[in-house]
Structure 1
Amino acid sequence: MNGTPAGRGRRLVLWRHGQTAWNLERRFQGTTDIPLTEVGVRQARRAARLLAALRPDAVIASDLQRARATAAELTEITGLAATHDAALRETYAGDWQGLTHEEILERYGEQYTAWKRGETVRRGGGELETEVADRAAPAVLAAADKLPDGGTLVVVSHGGTLRTTIGRLLGLPSHHWEGLGGLSNCCWSVLGEGARGWRLLEHNAGTLPEPVLGDDD
């Protein structure tokens, strides 16, 4: 699935929220509504100054406060109004939510190991990664469809949700999504529209994307 006609030259900037206390504690947040730390706010402010230079045309964000607060730093600079969408929330992970990494390994070790092997697992009885992509990717594509030719959409969301969305938009089989790697707090990935659909231009970036020059542009 990429759902994108060729030739419009649009760009997606998929931006993870800033740091939270649960990030520092390696505690699984999921859909729990955790605020940014002071460091997280500063991260968002710095990143927003960089991303504003890309002159985005629209901003959409998860409705959880860590994503809303991150997006607000960008909209304050750009004057854009963010659209908040529950479809962009982090993966719901049921009984895993609120547990540290060590507690998950202790209580749900077999389930965790199976997930890491690429098996289909409802972590903590929650959502499958494919179900997250089923809700998030269409929300991103719907917003992208409203962009002008050559326009840029900033999507402010969560690490797991962004990885599954990137995987879906690139047309990768779900068992390969883990290969994309994670996004650091307030870093982003960039997808550009090519002749055959979306392609990954930047991943886990923290500086402004540079144009590709040379034989493979």
Structure 2
Amino acid sequence: MNGSKSGRGRRVILWRHGQTAWNLERRFQGTTDIDLTDAGLTQARRSARLLASLKPAAIIASDLRRAALTAGELASVTGLDVSYDAGLRETYAGAWQGLTHEEIIERYGEQYAAWKRGEPVRRGGGELETEVADRAAPVVLRHAEKLPDNGTLVVVSHGGTIRTTIGRLLGLEAHHWEGLGGLSNCCWSVLGEGARGWRLTEHNAGTLPEPVLGDDV
């Protein structure tokens, strides 16, 4: 699942959507279609101005409103169209969706603990993390393949989906994906194309990526 040997220097920016009311309530959203808060729209506008300066060649996004609205802010300042794909939606988590963090632990404590240990768990009867990567990573790769040399793709998605996609593109075993940590609202991670495939060059960033200067390039 690594980048091809052609088209060196491509870059993929995986951008999490802005704040929602359920984020503030620590409520598991999953595939529930929740709007951005006013603060979330403000976050998206600020981040869009930063990301626009990187001159992206393409924007793709989850079709859930919180991601689509975030992507729309970048589209408005770049003039690019957004390609929407349901494959970039957040993890479907069945009965967990709509519950707060505390309610999940109270009602599904054993399942939650197993997930945190890195075991394959269908949270709430939903998708495995590997299944999320199975649907999301090919979408990202398909669009990355279309980039010109040194081109940048912005992927607007969700915290869980971004983490599983990064893990898959880096070739990490699923057990280790949790080690990547989460993304804050409207922050992003950057994958750069290297000699042996994709490399993680920024994670949970909210400022412009800078070149790595030094021996480890």
2:93 corresponds in structure 1 to 93
TM-score scaled to structure 2, two decimals?
A: 0.99
* Whole-angstrom distance in 2 between the partners of 1:101 and 1:4: 40
1:213 corresponds in structure 2 to 213
Calculate the aligned-residue CA RMSD, in Å.
Answer: 0.7
String of CA shifts for 1:169-213, please: whole Å, max 9, x gaps: 000000000000000000000000000000000000000011111
1:115 corresponds in structure 2 to 115
2:192 corresponds in structure 1 to 192
1:175 corresponds in structure 2 to 175
| Correspondence 1:12 to 2:12 | yes
Q: 1:1-217 maps to which residues of 2 (within 5 A)? A: 1-5=1-5, 8-217=8-217
Q: Percent identity?
A: 81
Aligned residue pair count: 217
1:13–1:154 contact (8 Å) kept in structure 2: yes
* Whole-angstrom distance in 1 between the partners of 2:2 and 2:188: 19
Instruction: Give the CA deviation at 1:145.
Output: 0.7
Instruction: Give the CA deviation at 1:130.
Output: 0.1
* Whole-angstrom distance in 2 between the partners of 1:58 and 1:91: 24
* Whole-angstrom distance in 1 between the partners of 2:165 and 2:41: 24
Instruction: Give the CA deviation at 1:3.
Output: 4.5
* Whole-angstrom distance in 2 between the partners of 1:144 and 1:179: 25
Letter in 2 for 1:18: G
**Secondary structure, aligned partner of 1:41:** helix
1:47–1:186 contact (8 Å) kept in structure 2: yes
Letter in 1 for 2:11: R
1:6–1:195 contact (8 Å) kept in structure 2: no
* Whole-angstrom distance in 2 between the partners of 1:123 and 1:82: 30
Misfit runs of 4+, over 2 Å:
3-7
Letter in 1 for 2:122: R
TM-score scaled to structure 1, two decimals?
A: 0.99
Instruction: Give the CA deviation at 1:5.
Output: 2.2
1:93–1:125 contact (8 Å) kept in structure 2: yes
Letter in 1 for 2:118: G
Letter in 2 for 1:137: A
2:7–2:148 contact (8 Å) kept in structure 1: no
**Secondary structure, aligned partner of 1:136:** helix
**Secondary structure, aligned partner of 2:184:** coil
Q: Where in structure 2 are there 5+ consecutive unaligned residues?
A: none
